[in-house]
């Protein structure tokens, strides 16, 4: 599976698998963003998720296939990619009844670990992946809809394949952006935290699917997801909510998802054997935790961001040199009028809430607020985040 091996660019901190920049996020973020989109009554969140997955993976899977192969080995490659990225085990060859199934799923495990059982299926993302895989492997346009889901207590996730589709899969159209990220800046460092060592350790870690196609690591379920996917679902969600006058609420909810994710994810990371072995010996004072967590996030492919000011536990400032959200917005939509780094905005607050806050996640949520003071998507040289404790 050498074609799926991770490529890491130490200059940009970008992770690439099968030709696409991938971001490591955990089930907390994936499940929360999915819940935000799917529970918004004004828009069809499922269609946004399914459509983005289909567009992005149709391109990535096609890049991974050999034209000379038959459809069966091509479907096998798509199954392998799905498992390698950490989404689970998917059997794409349809049964005579026209169904495909999954025996393990990042989205199911993530939903169960985060929210518990659900009455509806949770594998909307997988529906889009299946549509993309079948199209890339066979040229057939299909609809995939989940009929049984392990999150509801079913034995496996079963997807019904409907071949009566005529609508083409939307191309992943992006405009190249002439942007050269700044390479240096005035950043604060911790004398105890060895950031390059943390990043290198993360790069060296085998963060790919296990026998179940899952990546349980750092006390969370990780997945390698193309940045394009996150950008498309967030951009489309805000745009579609805007049509109902709810774009501000949409942005605030995406920020809150990043904030909650940061607390849950980084708390999981801080309670993991990986942290205990690698990072804990570097921690000598509470602020070291923030420096270490920022180093970890830089190793996860989120981009390249650093702390520029941290005078007290009440406030912190960050600068991001090439965040995937800002650059992604530029690629998909051109220059933005307002900042677009919702995830990083939330994560910035979540970091302060986690490291210096008290109480449960719910107690800490919302006790800090972040302003995105500059954003590459607006044409600024970097993205800036100023966090202040508000309660």
Partner 1 sequence: MGTRTYDDLPVGVLIADDAIVIRTASASFLRDFSCLAEDVQDRELSELISPRDRRASMLIDRASTQAATEPVDTIAVVEVGEVARLARIVLVRESQQWMVLVECIDNPQNLVLQLFSEHRRWSAALRGSSDGLVFVDEALTITDYNARFVELMQFRSDHGVLLGEELLPGRELATLLAPAAFEPMRVRLDAMWSREGCSDEFMLHGRWLELDARPIYLPSKGLSGHAISLRDATDRHDMEHARAERQRELLRHSEEVIAAQRQAIRALTAPRIPIARGLTVVPLVGALDTQRLSEIVEDLLEGVARDGTRTLVLDITGVPEFDGAAAAGLLSAARSLRLIGVHPILTGVSPRTAQLLASEHVPTHGLEIHGSLEAAIASSMRRSSARPVTS
* Binding residues vs partner 1 (CB under 8 A): 27-28, 39-42, 109, 112-116, 214, 216, 219-221, 241, 244-246, 248-250, 252-253, 256, 264, 267-268, 271, 358-363, 365-367, 369, 390-391
Nearer to partner 1, 55 or 264 (CB): 264
Cβ contacts of 150 within 8 Å, gap of 6 or more: 102, 105, 108, 156, 157
Nearer to partner 1, 11 or 248 (CB): 248
Q: How far is the CB of 298 from partner 1 (least distance, A)?
A: 23
Nearer to partner 1, 165 or 371 (CB): 371
Q: How far is the CB of 27 from partner 1 (least distance, A)?
A: 7
Nearer to partner 1, 203 or 249 (CB): 249
Q: How far is the CB of 132 from partner 1 (least distance, A)?
A: 27
Place of tokens 């996030």: 297
CB 34 within 8 A of CB 110: no
Q: How far is the CB of 309 from partner 1 (least distance, A)?
A: 20
How big, in percent rounded to 5, are the helix, strand and coil portions of the chain? 45, 20, 35
And the tokens for 217? 């690591």
- The DSSP symbol for 264 reads H
Q: How far is the CB of 265 from partner 1 (least distance, A)?
A: 10
Nearer to partner 1, 121 or 268 (CB): 268
Q: How far is the CB of 229 from partner 1 (least distance, A)?
A: 22
Nearer to partner 1, 181 or 216 (CB): 216
Angle at which helices 227-242 and 324-333 cross, to 10°: 60
And the tokens for 268? 């999981």
Nearer to partner 1, 5 or 210 (CB): 210
Q: How far is the CB of 230 from partner 1 (least distance, A)?
A: 20
For residue 307, give the 3-state DSSP assignment.
strand
Helices (H), the chain: 27-39, 45-64, 71-85, 106-114, 124-138, 195-204, 227-242, 247-270, 273-278, 286-299, 324-333, 342-356, 361-364
Side-chain-side CA neighbours of 180 within 13 Å: the count stands at 2
């Amino acid at each position: 599976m050498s074609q799926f091996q991770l490529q890491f660019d130490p200059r940009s901190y970008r992770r690439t698998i099968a030709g696409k920049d991938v971001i490591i996020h955990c089930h907390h973020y994936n499940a929360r963003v999915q819940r935000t989109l799917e529970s918004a009554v004004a828009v069809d969140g499922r269609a946004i998720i399914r459509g983005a997955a289909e567009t992005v993976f149709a391109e990535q899977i096609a890049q991974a296939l050999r034209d000379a192969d038959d459809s069966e080995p091509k479907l096998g490659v798509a199954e392998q990619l799905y498992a390698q990225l950490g989404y689970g085990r998917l059997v794409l060859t349809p049964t005579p009844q026209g169904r495909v199934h999954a025996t393990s799923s990042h989205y199911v495990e993530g939903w169960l670990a985060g929210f518990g059982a659900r009455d509806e299926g949770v594998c909307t993302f997988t529906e889009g992946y299946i549509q993309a895989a079948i199209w890339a492997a066979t040229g057939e346009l299909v609809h995939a809809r989940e009929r049984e889901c392990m999150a509801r207590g079913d034995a496996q996730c079963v997807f019904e394949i409907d071949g009566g589709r005529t609508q083409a899969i939307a191309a992943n159209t992006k405009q190249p952006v002439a942007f050269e990220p700044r390479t240096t800046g005035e950043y604060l460092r911790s004398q105890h935290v060895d950031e390059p060592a943390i990043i290198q350790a993360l790069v060296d870690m085998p963060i790919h699917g296990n026998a179940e196609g899952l990546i349980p690591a750092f006390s969370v379920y990780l997945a390698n997801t193309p940045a394009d996917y996150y950008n498309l679902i967030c951009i489309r969600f805000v745009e579609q909510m805007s049509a109902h006058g709810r774009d501000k609420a949409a942005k605030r909810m995406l920020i809150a998802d990043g904030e909650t994710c940061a607390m849950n994810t980084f708390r999981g990371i801080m309670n993991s054997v990986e942290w205990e072995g690698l990072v804990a010996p570097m921690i000598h004072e509470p602020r070291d935790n923030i420096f270490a967590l920022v180093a970890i996030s830089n190793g996860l492919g989120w981009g390249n961001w650093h702390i520029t000011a941290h005078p007290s536990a009440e406030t912190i400032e960050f600068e991001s040199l090439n965040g995937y959200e800002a650059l992604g917005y530029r690629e998909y939509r051109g220059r933005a009028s307002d900042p677009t780094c919702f995830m990083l905005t939330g994560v910035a607050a979540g970091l302060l809430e986690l490291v210096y806050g008290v109480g449960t996640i719910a107690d800490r949520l919302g006790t800090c607020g972040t302003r995105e003071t500059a954003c590459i998507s607006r044409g600024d040289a970097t993205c800036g985040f100023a966090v202040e404790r508000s309660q």
